[in-house]
Amino acid sequence: MSLKLSMDFQFTTTIEKLWSALTDSSKLARWVVNIHNGQPMENNFKPVVGHRFQFRTQPFNGWNGIIEGEVLIVEPPTRLSYTWASGGEKHTVTWTLKDLGDGRVNLHLEQTGFSQVHGLEGARYGWGKWCGELKKVLEQ
């Protein structure tokens, strides 16, 4: 059985600025942080289909601290998808951006491939925390 996580976030920003925060390696490092200590996760992300990337942080509680992925879809500035592999599971993450007008943008997250509810709930917590950090990056 494969479980799916679906979340929506609204930001006061432009779609271009939000796209940049999702695709620029240095900006990603400012909001995709270690959820235990707040330290930036080093990464080599590039918005290029087929590019393999890693996010790296300190190992924690039996986890090696590495998230591996491969970019699957790049449709600026509205859609980005990549694999997200860590802890023995491989998921697909897809971001869809929609300009709502009045300086607001909706960011829809869909993450598929969970084998158990515990992993899905952990991801819900993690993305919620990270998108709180993303809001701070967008306000700068």
The answer to whether the peptide bond before residue 40 is cis (omega within 30 degrees of 0) is no
131: pLDDT strictly greater than 70:
yes
- Model confidence, pTM: 0.94
Helix axes 117-139, 15-23, angle to 10 degrees: 120
132: pLDDT strictly greater than 80:
yes
The encoded tokens of residue 119 equal 């992993």
Place 37 in a pLDDT band, splitting at 50, 70 and 90: confident
The per-residue pLDDT for 113 is 95
* Domain 3-139 CATH (choose: 3.40.50.2300, 3.30.530.20, 3.30.1300.30, 3.50.50.60): 3.30.530.20
Q: Under 8 Å CB-to-CB from 73, ≥6 apart: which residues?
A: 49, 79, 80, 81, 82, 94
Counting residues of the chain whose pLDDT is more than 90, the rounded percentage is 81
Mean per-residue pLDDT, 19-40: 92
| b (16+ CB within 10 A) / e for 92-124 | bbbbebeeeeeeebebebbbebbeeeebbeebe
Q: Structural domain boundaries of the chain? A: 3-139
The per-residue pLDDT for 1 is 63
Strand segments, DSSP code E, in 1-140 are 3-12, 42-43, 52-56, 66-75, 79-86, 89-101, 104-114
